[in-house]
Amino acid sequence: MEKVIIIGTGPAGYTAALYTARADLNPLCFEGDPYKGFLPGGQLMTTTEVENYPGYPEGVTGPEMMAQFKKQAERFGTRFIQKSITKVDLSERPFRVWSGEAEWDAASLIIATGADAKYLGLPSEQTFLNRGVSACATCDGAVPRFRNKPLVVVGGGDTAMEEAMFLTKFASMVHIVHRRDKFRASKIMADRAIAHPKIKVEWNTTVDEVLGNDTEGVTGVRLKDVNTGATRELPCTGYFSAIGHKPNAELFREWLKTDENGYLVTKASSSYTQVEGVFACGDVQDHVYRQAITAAGSGCMAAIDATRWLESHEG
Ligand code: NDP
């Protein structure tokens, strides 16, 4: 039986691995299977430059940073398996996890399966990913291509308001494209966005296509009026999808509480779930901060919580 199994990589999973390895728990970490839609390294693998992670004054690419996180966790003995967990049984201890037919038992479990930003599903979004298309203004907003240029944010929730407000620091104008005539966002955030001189709302409008070319990346969007069907082009150098995130929590729903947005619920200021011995960290349980640094911090918390919990339940 394993003392601790970590499901998921990304800053949370790798940090949980590092700390549990240094606590002599010989962690086994399931990285995810790239061929089954689970990217080892998580969302940072699709990020170009990371400039807001302390300790990298010159910036670092997301994949490079994740490679270093992994190397550090490996240095202290973490074992990695490049498979996705497809089934869990948390009804009793030891907990059981499966990848296909293969099964493992664990005294404790750390869930770090992350979340995925949602996109509209246009092929052109994927074509220009990281070349003007992003789902994280905090991560990417400050890069030169977005400075003093018109930008587009799609969505009408709090994320869209927050992303748009953040982008006003850099953009010449931020266009929020929303499919209805009313925002879903909290009133205070919506009012603030609507009143901002650098924000213009394109009501009752959807993005039909992201426009661009190989050399420049994104050069604009084609918008469609939902009432008339009329289309028009809006020049911009950035397109930010802010239509929500999907936490990767389906596997655990039968056993663990989720909130109204599907995120795993942890006890205040800890990584404890309601099943003793099961801990959650990173974006699968955090819809507020969603940063590499906060995910890493919560991975550390999960490792310390699991270590202490195991100590008090051993023997
Ligand atoms: P939400 O689900 O609240 O909003 C998603 C938005 O995207 C909606 O306006 C929705 O439109 C729109 N949308 C969804 N799918 C499509 C589509 N296919 N085409 C066009 N538009 C689409 O997600 P958020 O990420 O904004 O927020 C999630 C949770 O996190 C909320 O509870 C929010 O309050 C919270 N949050 C809090 C923050 C804070 O307090 N600082 C910051 C960010 C998030 P429609 O309205 O028509 O459904």
Nearest CA to ligand 1 atom 31: 158
Q: Which fold has domain 2-116+245-312?
A: FAD/NAD(P)-binding domain (3.50.50)
Share of the chain above pLDDT 90, in %: 85
Mean pLDDT of the chain: 94
CATH 3.50.50.60 region(s) of the chain?
2-116+245-312, 119-241
Q: Determine the distance separating the centroid of ligand 1 and the alpha carbon of 178, expressed in angstroms.
A: 11
- Residues 183-205 have pLDDT tens digits of 999 999 999 999 999 999 999 99
Per-residue pLDDT, averaged over 35-46, amounts to 75
Q: Determine the distance separating the centroid of ligand 1 and the alpha carbon of 157, expressed in angstroms.
A: 3
- Residues 103-160 have pLDDT tens digits of 999 999 999 999 988 999 999 999 999 899 999 888 888 899 999 999 999 999 988 9
Pocket perturbation via mutation, ligand 1, pick of 116, 178, 184 by most ligand atoms within 8 A of CB: 184
User: Residues enclosing ligand 1, CB less than 6 A?
Assistant: 120, 155-160, 162, 179-180, 184, 206, 243-245, 261, 287-288
Residue 194 is predicted with a pLDDT of 98
Pocket perturbation via mutation, ligand 1, pick of 152, 158, 209 by most ligand atoms within 8 A of CB: 158
Task: Count the neighbouring beta carbons within 10 Å of the beta carbon of residue 220.
Answer: 18
More confident residue, 89 or 46: 89
Q: Determine the distance separating the centroid of ligand 1 and the alpha carbon of 227, expressed in angstroms.
A: 22
Query: Tokens 């099943």 appear where?
Result: 275
Residue 201, CA atoms < 13 Å, CB-side half-sphere: 21
Nearest CA to ligand 1 atom 33: 158
More confident residue, 141 or 222: 222
Q: Determine the distance separating the centroid of ligand 1 and the alpha carbon of 254, expressed in angstroms.
A: 25
11-22 and 292-313 helices cross at what angle (nearest 10)?
40
More confident residue, 165 or 41: 165
Q: Determine the distance separating the centroid of ligand 1 and the alpha carbon of 283, expressed in angstroms.
A: 16
Cα–Cα distance between 147 and 149 in angstroms, integer?
Answer: 5
Q: Which atom of ligand 1 is nearest to the CA of 118?
A: 15
Q: Which residue type is seen at 175?
A: H
Q: Which residues pair with 98 in a beta bridge?
A: 87, 103
Nearest CA to ligand 1 atom 25: 244
Residue 315 has pLDDT above 60, yes or no: no
Q: Which atom of ligand 1 is nearest to the CA of 243?
A: 7
- Which class would CATH give 119-241? alpha beta
Residue 39 has pLDDT above 80, yes or no: no
Q: Where residue 35 falls among pLDDT bands split at 50, 70, 90? A: low
Residue 181 has pLDDT above 60, yes or no: yes
Q: Where residue 49 falls among pLDDT bands split at 50, 70, 90? A: confident
- Dihedral sign for Cα atoms in the order 134, 139, 142, 144: negative
Residue 51 is predicted with a pLDDT of 84
Residue 36 has pLDDT above 80, yes or no: no
Nearest CA to ligand 1 atom 2: 244
Cα–Cα distance between 288 and 310 in angstroms, integer?
Answer: 29
Cβ–Cβ under 8 Å, residues 110 and 90: no
Q: Where residue 87 falls among pLDDT bands split at 50, 70, 90? A: very high
Q: Determine the distance separating the centroid of ligand 1 and the alpha carbon of 179, expressed in angstroms.
A: 12
Measure the CA dihedral 268/274/277/279, to 10°. Answer: -50
Per-residue pLDDT, averaged over 73-102, amounts to 97
Residue 53 is predicted with a pLDDT of 94
Residue 43 is predicted with a pLDDT of 83
**Active site residue ranges:** 136, 139-140
89 SS3 class = strand
Q: Which atom of ligand 1 is nearest to the CA of 155?
A: 7
Residue 44 is predicted with a pLDDT of 85
Residue 265 has pLDDT above 90, yes or no: yes
